[in-house]
Amino acid sequence: MQISFTLNGRPTSVDVEPATLVAELLREQLHLTGTHIGCDTSQCGACVVHLNGLPVKSCTLLAPALDGATLLTIEGLTGDPGSNQMHPMQEAFRQHHGLQCGFCTPGMLMTAVALATEKPDLTEADVRHGLEGNICRCTGYQNIVISVMAGAAAMHAAKGE
C-alpha cells in the first residue's frame, strides 16, 4: 500500500507491505539507521521516534499508522536550523557523558526530548519515571539522568522560558 507522511520535515511517500514495522521501514527501506532495534519486543526503547509529537516505539508500530502523520527520527533532531549545532539534549548528553556504547542513545534522546517538551520543570523523579521504557546496559543511568535534566533546562532556556 502507498502511504504518505512527513518525515523529519520532508514530505515522503513510500510503497509498503502493511506487515512492515516502522523501525524496518526506516532502517531498511529509507536507510535511516539512527533508529536502533535493540530487543524488538517493545521493552528497551532504542527505537523510539516521535509520531505526531509523541514518543512511540517504532518496533511496535505498523507502517500504515504513518499515513498522514508527522514522524521525527533521531536524524531529524538538530540544533537551530542551518547552524550545524547539535540539539540541546544531544549537547547535554555529550557534556555530561550520558552514554557509553551509544546503542540506546537515539531512543534515550527521543524519549528525553518528548519528556522535556511535555513538562518544562522536570524533577529527577519525573526523569527516572519517564525513562522507564528505555534500557541502558552500560551507564547505570546516573549520567543519563543528569544529561536529561541539563538538556531539558537548556531546551527551555533556548526558548526563553
Partner 1 sequence: MKPFAYHQPDQIPDAAKLLTSIEDSKLVAGGMTLIPTLKQRLASPSALVDLSKLGNLKGITDDGATITIGAMTPHAVVAASKLVQTKIPGLAALASMIGDPAVRSRGTIGGSVANNDPAADYPAGVLGLGATVITSKREIAADEFFLGLFETALDPSEIVTAIRFPVPVKAGYAKFKAPASRYALVGVFVAKFADGVRVAVTGAGPGVFRVPPMEAALSGNFDPSAIAAIKIDTDGLTSDIHAEADYRAHLVTVMAKRAVEAALS
Give the 3-state secondary structure of residue 110. helix
**Shortest Cβ 90–partner 1 spacing (Å):** 19
**Shortest Cβ 68–partner 1 spacing (Å):** 10
**Does residue 1 bind partner 1 (CB under 8 A)?**
yes
Q: What are phi and psi of 51, to 5 degrees?
A: -105, 115
**Does residue 54 bind partner 1 (CB under 8 A)?**
yes
Among 9, 13, 17, 95, binds partner 1 (CB under 8 A): 17
**Does residue 104 bind partner 1 (CB under 8 A)?**
no
Identify the CA nearest to 148 among candidates 100, 77, 98, 106: 98
- Radius of gyration of the chain from Cα atoms? 15
CA 121 – CA 106 distance, rounded (Å):
23
State the residues that interact with partner 1 by CB under 8 A: 1, 17-19, 21, 40-43, 45, 48, 51, 54-57, 60-62, 64-65, 111, 114-115, 130, 132-134
